[in-house]
Structure 1
Amino acid sequence: MVEQEEIQEEVEIIEETPEEVVEETFLLPNIDLSNWKVTLPTGSPDEVEPPEISDYATDDRLLPYMYNDSTDGALVFYTSPGSSTNNSSYSRTELREQLVPGSNSTNWTFTEGGTMKGTLAVDEISKDAEGKYHRTIIMQIHGRLTNAQRDLIEEDDNNAPPILKIYWQNGKIRVLTKVLNDLTASDEEILHTDAWSDNDGYTFSEEIGTNKFILEIIASEGRLEIILNETESIIYEDIHMEKWGVFENYFKAGNYLQTKDEGSFARVKFYNLEVTH
Structure 2
Amino acid sequence: MVLLFLSVNATSQNQKSSVSESDVNIKKSKKKKKKVKLPEIDLSNWKVTIPEGGGKGGAISVEPPEILNYATNDILKPYMYNDSTKRALTFYAYPTTATTANTKYSRSELREQMVPGDDNVNWTFKQGGTLKAKLSVDDVSRDTNGRYHKVIILQIHGRLTNDQKELIKQKDNNAPPVLKIYWQNGKIRVKTKKLKYADVNSTGILHEEAWTDDEGFNFQEEVGFGKFQIEVKVTDGKMVVSLNKTEYAVYNDFNMKRWGVFENYFKAGNYFQSRDEGSFAKVSFYELEVKH
* TM-score w.r.t. length of structure 1: 0.92
Which residue number in structure 1 is paired with residue 210 of structure 2? Answer: 195
Aligned-residue Cα RMSD (Å) equals 1.5
Q: 2:99 aligns with which of 78, 84, 92?
A: 84
In 1, Cα distance between equivalents of 2:239 and 2:106: 27
In 2, Cα distance between equivalents of 1:163 and 1:92: 18
The SS at the match of 1:227 is: strand
Q: What is the correspondence of 1:17-96 to structure 2 with a 5 Å cutoff? A: 21-43=31-53, 44-82=58-96, 83-96=98-111
The SS at the match of 1:124 is: strand
In 2, Cα distance between equivalents of 1:19 and 1:151: 70
Once the two structures are TM-superposed, the CA of residue 22 in structure 1 deviates from its matched residue by 4.2
Once the two structures are TM-superposed, the CA of residue 19 in structure 1 deviates from its matched residue by 6.5
In 2, Cα distance between equivalents of 1:20 and 1:162: 54
Identity rate of aligned residues, in percent? 57
| CA displacement, residues 22-59 of structure 1 (integer Å, 9 cap, x when unaligned) | 44121111110000000010111100000000000000
- Is 1:227 aligned with 2:235? no
Which residue number in structure 1 is paired with residue 129 of structure 2? Answer: 114
Which residue number in structure 2 is paired with residue 156 of structure 1? Answer: 171
Select the structure that is richer in strand: 2
In 1, Cα distance between equivalents of 2:286 and 2:151: 18
Which residue number in structure 1 is paired with residue 257 of structure 2? Answer: 242
Which residue number in structure 2 is paired with residue 9 of structure 1? Answer: none
- Is 1:176 aligned with 2:204? no
In 1, Cα distance between equivalents of 2:64 and 2:166: 28
Which residue number in structure 2 is paired with residue 14 of structure 1? Answer: none
In 1, Cα distance between equivalents of 2:187 and 2:246: 15
Which structure 2 residue ranges, 5 or more long, are not aligned? 1-26
Q: 1:130 aligns with which of 137, 145, 151?
A: 145
In 2, Cα distance between equivalents of 1:86 and 1:145: 15
| CA displacement, residues 52-72 of structure 1 (integer Å, 9 cap, x when unaligned) | 000000000100000000011
Once the two structures are TM-superposed, the CA of residue 20 in structure 1 deviates from its matched residue by 8.9
In 2, Cα distance between equivalents of 1:154 and 1:70: 48
Q: Which amino acid aligns with 1:238?
A: D
**Alignment size in residue pairs:** 263
Q: Which amino acid aligns with 1:54?
A: L
In 2, Cα distance between equivalents of 1:204 and 1:19: 53
In 2, Cα distance between equivalents of 1:255 and 1:72: 17
